[in-house]
Amino acid sequence: MKKVLVLCTGNSCRSILGEALINKYLDGVKAYSAGTNPAGKVNENAKKVLMAENAWNDSYYSKNLDEVIDENFDLVVTVCDSAKESCPIFPKLVKTIHIGFEDPDGKDYIEFEKLVEEMKEEFLPKIKKFI
């Protein structure tokens, strides 16, 4: 099983969406998410859109990178520019890529739906290619 970390700043929207979509749609891959400065909660619209996608899991929560940094990841994906800039050095050599998305936080639910579709069309194929 390949392990992927989806990293952003707040770990409340984009990285949680990425984690859930990878776990739902990519066989043989286990995704995790974390934030460089976690919000401490999952955005309600992110949770709602994942529930509509039948991809929500109650184990998803906003967490600090320290909680997962010792995992043996095969790939780290930054999904926001800030996380890309502050992406830490991992204890073990790991491939890191950036696939940026606009932050939907504070926007209408429809923007979360659009982001999920964009991630399914662009993000998932790129992840599959790199693992």
Asked if 32 and 69 touch (Cβ cutoff 8 Å), the reply is no
Which of these is catalytic: 16, 21, 49, 80? 80
DSSP state of 23: H
Measured CA to CA, the distance from residue 87 to residue 90 in angstroms comes to 9
87 part of the active site: yes
Q: What pLDDT shows up at residue 91?
A: 57
**For the structural domain made of 2-130, what CATH number should be given?**
3.40.50.2300
Measured CA to CA, the distance from residue 46 to residue 7 in angstroms comes to 15
* Span 3-25, average pLDDT: 95
Asked if 108 and 42 touch (Cβ cutoff 8 Å), the reply is no
Residue with tokens 């429809």: 110
* Span 49-57, average pLDDT: 97
80 part of the active site: yes
* Span 108-129, average pLDDT: 96
Measured CA to CA, the distance from residue 123 to residue 88 in angstroms comes to 22
pLDDT in tens, 111-120: 999 999 999 9
Per DSSP, what are the bridge partners of residue 3? 30
13 part of the active site: no
Q: What pLDDT shows up at residue 93?
A: 75
Asked if 116 and 53 touch (Cβ cutoff 8 Å), the reply is yes
pLDDT in tens, 59-77: 999 999 889 988 899 999 9
Portion of the chain with pLDDT greater than 90, in percent: 74
Q: What pLDDT shows up at residue 80?
A: 81
Which of these is catalytic: 87, 98, 105, 109? 87
Asked if 11 and 38 touch (Cβ cutoff 8 Å), the reply is yes
Domain boundaries, the chain: 2-130
Which of these is catalytic: 8, 34, 83, 127? 8
Cα Rg, the chain, nearest whole Å: 13
